[in-house]
Amino acid sequence: MEPFTQLSAVAAPFGMANIDTDKIIPARFLRKLRTVEKGYDPWLFYDMRFDTDGNERPDFILNQTPWRKTGIIVAGPNFGCGSSREGAAYAMLDWGIRCVVAPSFGDIHYANEIQNGMLPAILAEEHCAVLRAQLQASPGTSLSIDLASQTITGPDGKCYHFQIDSVYKERLLKGLNDVGLVLQELPAIEAFENKHFARMPWLA
């Protein structure tokens, strides 16, 4: 996994609360294979980005010139609630979005972002609202994010401290692979299994 340390990128404000993963990627695209050549970016926010005839909706933020290169989303509460589809993280990542700033996240989606080397940065809604207003006022503005110091620098130079769990922070900074981390504990796992299944053999 690619480590996440710092990021400076165009940020798009998404004011709506409860942006569910069905919105981020509609279910009908989850059957698509994801390859290096063909990522999931074409399906990102598909029903918000395109009308029923497949034409771009000009009023949707990612269709507007300054935001076509969006690398950060500043969202409202409960971002990524709903379905566990990791396709939501794939679609953002393949588009080039590596960080979502929001006051809160759906649990499973939060884990999915981490698993894909994305940063789900938790920032109080009042601060998110300020950032969203600033980004809206000057389209195409960038935000700078530094994971080590857990800071987001706004368009006006103001610095905000965001929250991230220390274990996830370390994993992102180092780009650690979870399977590798688990397998380091193999002797402990095997010892556990011996005891566990001796007690409950019907589960083995």
Partner 1 sequence: MPRTLFEKIWQQHVIVDKGNEALLYIDRNLLHDGAFHAFGALAKEGRKVRKPRQSLATADHYVPTSGREKGLANVIDTDAREMIRLFDVNGAEHGIRCFGMNHPQQGIVHVIGPETGFTQPGITLTCGDSHTSTHGAMGAYAFGIGASQLKQVLATQCLWQRRPKTLRITVDGKLGAGVSGKDVVLAIIAKIGTAGGTGHVIEYAGSVFRAMAMEGRLTVCNMSIEAGARAGMIAPDDTTFQYLAGREYAPKGGQWDEALAMWRVLPTDDGAVFDHEVSLDGNAIEPTITWGTTPEEALPVSAVIPDPASFADANKRAHAESALRYMDLKPGTRLTDIEIDRVFIGTCTNGRLDDLRAAAAVLKGRKVTVQGWVSPGSTQVKRDAEAEGLHRIFEEAGLEWRASGCSGCAAMNGDFVPPGMRAASTSNRNFEGRQGKGARTHLMSPAMAAAAAITGRVTDVRKLMS
Q: Interface with partner 1 by CB under 8 A: which residues?
A: 15-18, 20, 22-23, 26-28, 30-34, 47, 52, 76-78, 81-87, 89, 104-109, 111-112, 115-116, 125, 165-167, 178-179, 181-183, 185, 188-189, 192-193, 196, 199-204
Pairing of strands 159-161, 99-102: unpaired
Q: Phi/psi at 156 (nearest 5 deg)?
A: -90, 10
Are 29 and 144 within 8 A, CB to CB? no
Nearer to partner 1, 72 or 89 (CB): 89
Nearer to partner 1, 148 or 203 (CB): 203
> Using an 8 Å Cβ cutoff, are 12 and 74 in contact?
yes
- Which residue number, 18 or 144, has a Cβ lying nearer to partner 1? 18
Write down the least CB distance from residue 121 to partner 1, Å.
16
Smallest gap from Cβ 78 to partner 1, in A, equals: 4
Unique residue bearing structure tokens 């996830």: 168
The least distance separating partner 1 from the CB of residue 17, rounded to whole angstroms, comes to 4
Secondary structure (3-state) at 67: helix
Closest CA to 9 of 66, 63, 62, 71: 71
By beta-carbon proximity to partner 1, the closer residue of 28 and 161 is 28
**Cα gap 66→179, rounded to integer Å:** 39
Minimal distance in Å, beta carbon 8 to partner 1? 26
The CB-of-61 to partner 1 minimum distance in angstroms stands at 15
DSSP 15-65: --S--BHHHHS-GGGTTS---SSS-SGGGTTHHHHB-TTSPBPTTSGGGSG
Closest CB to partner 1 among 19 and 72? 19
Residue with smaller CB distance to partner 1, 16 or 137: 16
Q: How far is the CB of 70 from partner 1 (least distance, A)?
A: 21
Neighbouring-strand partners of residue 153: 144, 159
**Coil/strand/helix, residue 65:** helix
